[in-house]
Every structure is written in C-alpha cells, then in structure tokens.
C-alpha cells in the first residue's frame, strides 16, 4: 500500500509539470448529471479527490527523499552551538535549507525530467514506464547517501525475498533507511561544529571563574568571540561548501 502511495505521489508531480497530449487524458474537475426531474447535479470526480489527498502528503515525502533533512538539522545545530537564540530566525533557516536543497538536487531533478516527464508528456512512453524511469535517479541518489548497515537493517525488517540488489529495494524500505543515514550524517556534522564553540565557552568560563566573576554569564562574553571566529574563518562559505560536497 505504501509503495502504491509513493507511486501516486510521483504521478502527481508529473501531472503538474507534464502536458496532456489528448483531452481523454485530462482529469475532469466537475461532472454534471441530469436528474429525472430535469435538474442538474454536479459532483467532483473521485480521481480529483484522490489526487488532492496525495498532494497533502507530497511536501513531507519530497522533503524526506532529498537533502533537506541533513541541511536543516545542521543549520539548527549551528545556531544552537553559537548561542544566538533565534538568529537567524526559523524562516531564514528554512529558506536557506530549501534553496540549498534545490541546488543539491538539481542534477537529480533534471534527470527525472529528461528520462520520465518529457517522454511521458510527448506520449513516447506509458505511465508505468515513466514511473519506473522517475524512480531510478531518486533511488541512485538515496542509495549513495544511505549507509549499508542501515539499508540491511530495514531490508531484514521488511523480510522481502524479492530484494536481490540495492536497486531492487522498494521505496517503502529505502526511504526509512535513507532518513536514518541522513540523521546520522547531520548529527555527525553538528558534533564537529560544536567543538570550536565549546572550547570558546570553556576558556571564557575559566577566565571568569579565575577573576571571581561568578555572577556574570559566560554566554554573554563568549557570544561575540564565537561570532568573530565564525566570520574570520568565513564560516558560512565553509558550511555551504561542506554540505554540498557531502553529496558529491
């Protein structure tokens, strides 16, 4: 059931970006039924309702199948490590994560468009073939970022005898393994980001204690030094380069 839902999500994407070649392929929004007494009754088609249901799940599924998870977690951990509270605000972090995700995923999306959406819109391939072609670039991307141990764990849990090679892994098994690996990678990067800022906090706290300034919060004194260090080493550029380079 989950695999069918994911396939319909891909179909929803193709409906929005592809051009129907004939009027028969279009989904009618409203149907008119002539009643016995001459009145006209209007009803929304079941296909449209199904499509709208799938679209409600589309954002979450797309975010989980891309680099968005790793990027937003690393940015959030960086903000906490610097101790800047709500600076940058959540809207800015989400915007940075979204556009950085688009930058990272652009080659994959381009391949999906060229191999699946364009041939399907030109009536060169059928729907099932287009869905299979669209899954290949996404699976290749997720498999490159998924740890072998995580993939084997979810494959063993699924107990699917049809999985002979990694590419045979269904999306319902591959996506949880991919998310688990992304969380591990994000927290590993976050740990490395925390180290220099913790050292600054420890040095400042030791100096304040040696001077007898017990009532002065070390966070107030260490924050300017954290910001100065981050700016001096061109931290934003290093962070963006590291995040994008981790997907190469």
Strands (E), the chain: 30-34, 40-44
User: Measured between alpha carbons, how far is 91 from 52 in angstroms, rounded to an integer?
Assistant: 26
Residue 127, CA distances (Å) to 53, 54, 170 in order: 20, 17, 18
Instruction: List the domain boundaries for the chain.
Output: 59-245
The neighbour count for residue 166, using CB atoms within 10 Å, is 16
Quick: pLDDT tens for 113-164.
Answer: 888 888 877 878 777 788 788 888 888 889 888 998 888 888 888 887 777 7
- Contact criterion met (CB below 8 Å) for 45 and 31: yes
- Contact criterion met (CB below 8 Å) for 240 and 100: yes
Dihedral, 118, 120, 121, 123 alpha carbons, nearest 10: 120
User: Measured between alpha carbons, how far is 14 from 135 in angstroms, rounded to an integer?
Assistant: 12
- Contact criterion met (CB below 8 Å) for 12 and 54: yes
pLDDT attached to residue 32? 54
Q: Under 8 Å CB-to-CB from 11, ≥6 apart: which residues?
A: 54, 127, 131
pLDDT attached to residue 225? 84
Quick: pLDDT tens for 155-214.
Answer: 888 887 777 788 878 888 888 899 999 999 999 998 988 888 888 888 888 888 777 776
Please tell me what DSSP assigns to residue 90: H
pLDDT at 66 over 80: yes
Give the global pTM.
0.73
Confidence of residue 13 (pLDDT cuts 50, 70, 90): very low
pLDDT attached to residue 181? 92
Average pLDDT of the chain, as a whole number: 77
């Amino acid at each position: 059931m989950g695999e069918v839902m994911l396939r319909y999500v891909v179909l929803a994407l193709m409906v929005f970006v592809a051009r129907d070649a004939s009027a028969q392929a279009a989904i009618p929004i409203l149907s008119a039924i002539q009643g016995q007494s001459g009145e006209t009754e209007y009803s929304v088609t079941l296909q449209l309702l199904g499509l709208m249901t799938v679209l409600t799940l589309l954002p979450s599924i797309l975010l989980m199948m891309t680099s968005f998870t790793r990027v937003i977690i690393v940015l959030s951990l960086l903000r906490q490590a610097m101790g800047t509270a709500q600076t940058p605000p959540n809207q800015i972090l989400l915007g940075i994560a979204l556009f950085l995700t688009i930058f990272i995923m652009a080659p994959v999306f381009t391949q999906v468009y060229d191999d699946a959406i364009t041939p399907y819109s030109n009536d060169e391939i059928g729907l099932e073939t287009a869905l299979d072609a669209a899954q290949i670039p996404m699976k290749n991307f997720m498999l490159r970022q998924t740890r072998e141990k995580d993939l084997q764990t979810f494959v063993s849990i699924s107990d699917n005898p049809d999985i002979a090679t990694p590419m045979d892994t269904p999306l319902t098994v591959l996506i949880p393994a991919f998310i688990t690996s992304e969380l591990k990678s994000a927290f590993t990067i976050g740990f490395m980001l925390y180290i220099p800022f913790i050292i600054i906090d420890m040095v400042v706290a030791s100096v304040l204690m040696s001077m007898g300034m017990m009532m002065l919060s070390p966070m107030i004194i260490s924050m300017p030094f954290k910001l100065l260090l981050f700016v001096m080493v061109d931290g934003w550029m290093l962070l963006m380069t590291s995040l994008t380079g981790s997907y190469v």
